[in-house]
Amino acid sequence: MKVAIIGGGAAGFFAAIQVKTNYPKAAVTLLEKSKKCLAKVKVSGGGRCNVTNGCSTIRELVVGYPRGGRVLKKLFRAFDNYSTQQWFTDRGVALKTEPDNRVFPVSNQSQSIIDCLWKEVQRLGISVELGKGVKNIRELNDGALQLIIKGEAAPRIFDKVIVATGGSPKLSGFDWLADLGHHIEPPVPSLFTFNMPNETIPELMGVVAKNVLVHIQGTKLKTQGDLLVTHWGMSGPAILKLSALGARVLAEMQYHFKVQINWAAVSNQELLREELNDLATQHAKKQLRNVRPYQLPERLWLFLLQKGGLNERKPWGELGKKGINKLVQLLGNDVYMVQGKTTFKEEFVTCGGISWESVDAKSLQSKVCQNLYFAGEVLDVDGITGGYNFQAAWTTGFVVGKLG
């Protein structure tokens, strides 16, 4: 059996390894269009490669996928984040889990992951060909697949082909796969930060507010987590997660929308009012600037007081009903205008790709072209930041390697 894997990224390497492990007699060829394989693994996680997430259950893991989670939930039974950790540690890559559950090699070098994958590919005798961009796939009458490769005069024929070409920011990047009859979910960026060119909050660049609630006005999109004020606007886990959850809706809004921040993370306004009244009673004589509610960073607290027109030297006891109402508004429903986005370069992914309508969810085999399979980001699957995207590549690579 001759098997081709198109694309030498995380999913392609893992798929090739699994195919050769499951079918030792198969001739497995990996075709990579560029001069280098695993380029994204190299730069991932700031050069450290956040290889998976350390969360403890599949239920928690699937929450990390705004798209494709339903399908992955079943595939995780075959290969989940624990399997990933086991697989790499069994092959000599020591891993560590950081407090936020991101899993990295102990070496803090993505090269450890790359070396491990290359070693496995070489041990198994998989042929890796660089500079081989596949332009087209044709289905022959006997079910075999013909690959047209850039710069090669004659097409090559394989019994099975796995496409692991990653995401594409342009719809046209999927034309060759759409031509075979696959439905494509149009690509839009996921994981980006919010630009606020007409707001003054970027003055607080570098400030981190712990555990805030973020909501996009006019939508059901909500997240909770830490927020980082940047030079351009807002970033941090709460914002990045929101950008992934809302990737399509926010693209439709052309990245112009209002974001509501609940700095107190108390969604019940009456409860918030009560807590602020208690604070005013307890610290009646202290100035507003000296008692910061909800452990807000000092710069943020002073900024909010100024934004609300409240004198920072005013004693808490003199706030009165009007002052407390103002604080309820400022802490519970602080609105900012977002105008544009910035790519989160630490972990950039696109959502969209080969639609699940066109793929068998158990085997990842194409429904329209026999003997063709898909793995990795080329599928309409993407995760939030934290190792979820590589986990999708390992899991789909593992499953597709069964050639079921």
Ligand X SMILES: Cc1cc2nc3c(=O)[nH]c(=O)nc-3n(C[C@H](O)[C@H](O)[C@H](O)COP(=O)(O)OP(=O)(O)OC[C@H]3O[C@@H](n4cnc5c(N)ncnc54)[C@H](O)[C@@H]3O)c2cc1C
Residues in touch with ligand X (CB under 6 A) = 6-12, 31-34, 39-40, 43-45, 49-50, 133-134, 164-166, 345-349, 376-377, 387-390, 393
Q: Which is nearer to ligand X, 111 or 219 (by Cβ)?
A: 111
Q: Taking the complex as a whole, how short is the minimal distance between the CB of residue 163 and ligand X, in angstroms?
A: 8
Helix, strand, coil % over all residues of the chain, rounded to 5: 35, 25, 35
Q: Which is nearer to ligand X, 170 or 258 (by Cβ)?
A: 170
Q: Please give the Cα distance from 372 to 137 (Å, whole number).
A: 9
Q: Taking the complex as a whole, how short is the minimal distance between the CB of residue 367 and ligand X, in angstroms?
A: 20
CA distances from 345 to 6, 93, 109, 133, 306 (A): 25, 26, 18, 25, 33
8 close to 32: Cβ distance less than 8 angstroms: yes
Q: Which is nearer to ligand X, 262 or 396 (by Cβ)?
A: 396
Q: Taking the complex as a whole, how short is the minimal distance between the CB of residue 15 and ligand X, in angstroms?
A: 9
Q: Taking the complex as a whole, how short is the minimal distance between the CB of residue 219 and ligand X, in angstroms?
A: 25
401 close to 22: Cβ distance less than 8 angstroms: yes
Q: Taking the complex as a whole, how short is the minimal distance between the CB of residue 167 and ligand X, in angstroms?
A: 6
| H or E stretch at 204 | none
Q: Taking the complex as a whole, how short is the minimal distance between the CB of residue 49 and ligand X, in angstroms?
A: 6
Output the 3-class SS for 41-94: HHHHHHHCCCCEECCCCHHHHHCCCCECHHHHHHHCCCCCHHHHHHHHHHCCCC
Q: Which is nearer to ligand X, 225 or 376 (by Cβ)?
A: 376
Q: Tokens for 246, please give them.
A: 């809302």
3-state secondary structure of 99: coil
Q: Which is nearer to ligand X, 8 or 293 (by Cβ)?
A: 8
Per this entry, what is the length of the chain? 404
DSSP category for residue 300: H
3-state secondary structure of 199: coil
Q: Taking the complex as a whole, how short is the minimal distance between the CB of residue 91 and ligand X, in angstroms?
A: 19
Q: Which is nearer to ligand X, 300 or 349 (by Cβ)?
A: 349
**Residue type, position 315, single letter:** P
**Closest Cα partner for 11 from 240, 244, 167, 149?**
167
**Closest Cα partner for 375 from 387, 392, 389?**
392
Give the nearest residue (CB) to ligand X.
Answer: 9
Q: Taking the complex as a whole, how short is the minimal distance between the CB of residue 168 and ligand X, in angstroms?
A: 8
Q: Which is nearer to ligand X, 228 or 244 (by Cβ)?
A: 244
Q: Which is nearer to ligand X, 230 or 385 (by Cβ)?
A: 385
**Closest Cα partner for 93 from 56, 28, 41?**
41
Q: Taking the complex as a whole, how short is the minimal distance between the CB of residue 113 and ligand X, in angstroms?
A: 10
Q: Which is nearer to ligand X, 33 or 222 (by Cβ)?
A: 33
Within a 10 A sphere around the Cβ of 78, how many other Cβ atoms? 12
